Chains A and B, each alone.
Chain A
Amino acid sequence: VSTTSSLDAVAAGDALPTCTYRVTRADLVRYAGASGDFNPIHWSDRVAGSVGLPGVIAHGMYTMALAARACSTWAGSPDRVREIGCKFTKPVVVPDDDEGVEIVVAGTVKNLTEDGVHVALEVTCGGEKVLGMPKAVLARA
């Protein structure tokens, strides 16, 4: 399988192309159904408020899925993602409107090993980091 990869000629310190994704309430409802995670904090302002949240928040796994999507784009295929992990440090509040919020996924090459390209990600919403130490290992073609 030959696809475009951003990793063919990278070196430590290189920045990967930043990816921007929009998230709306409708996406969270779709994701709840697709993932099976029907936790009401991801669709009910009432329940979110009752546990001290400012409003409905995105599933942490939704934000992580977007990080993984950026990694898939960089690597040229989701099959080349060998490892991905993060902490969920700041909730992504998704307003009940048509615009939603933007998630920005940036990546920097940390080092190259026989496992692949080790990437440090930075995932932000409104300029603030929402994932803690997100990182991935991406195989080269």
Chain B
Amino acid sequence: VTREKVREFARATGSDGSEGPGGPGGADSEVPPTFPIVVAFTAMSELMAAPGVGIELHRVIHGDQRFTYTRPVRVGDRLTATLSVDSLRQLGGADIIGTRTEITDERGAPVCTAFATLVHRGPEEQ
């Protein structure tokens, strides 16, 4: 987690630092709560790209998202995301994929858990 990456994310969502002291990327930098999606999304992308999975990103709808935090993310953290598919069902020709991504720090200690439901609609549904 670099200062510049946090600053880029915070600026994109207008979190200019008025929410807390120091400002995004500042000395006592505070990281926006949804920032862990950066690593969680990388894990989701690897799932989609895995051989035999056959998910196309532009046919994916994000159904829901939830984060629970053990501690806030900090600049300098080295995060690892481990994604599990918790549930898989089909509804009206769409695949509904329930995922859980455990995000841990360089010591393996939990930082946050990201839960996401991805809905994949095949081209035959159009």
Chain B residues near A83 (CB-CB < 8 A): 66-69
Interface size class of A (residues with CB under 8 A): 35 or more
In the bound complex, residues from chain B placing their C-beta under 8 Å from that of A21 are: 14
Q: Interface residues of B, CB < 8 Å — how many?
A: 40
Q: Which residues of B are found within 8 Å of A33, using beta-carbon distances?
A: 8, 12
A21-B124 Cα distance, complex, nearest whole Å: 37
Note all chain A residues with C-beta closer than 8 A to B61: 88
A15 at the A/B interface (Cβ < 8 Å)? no
Q: Which residue of A lies closest to B42 (CB)?
A: A36
Interface-lining segment among B32-40, B84-92, B93-101, B103-111: B32-40
Contact B20 A78 (CB under 8 A): yes
**What's the Cα separation between A33 and B34 when bound, in Å?**
15
Mostly helix, strand, loop or mixed at chain B's interface?
mixed
Tell me if A65 is interfacial: C-beta within 8 Å of chain B: yes
Considering the chains assembled together, what is the distance between the CA atoms of A3 and B64 in angstroms?
31
Closest to B61 in A: A88
> A30, B32: Cβ atoms under 8 Å?
no
Residue numbers of B with Cβ under 8 A of A are 5, 8-9, 11-15, 18-21, 28, 30-34, 37-38, 41-42, 45, 57-69, 72, 115, 121, 126
Interface residues of A (CB under 8 A from B): 1, 3, 21, 27, 30-31, 33-37, 39-41, 47, 50-52, 59-62, 64-66, 68-69, 71-73, 76-79, 81-88, 132
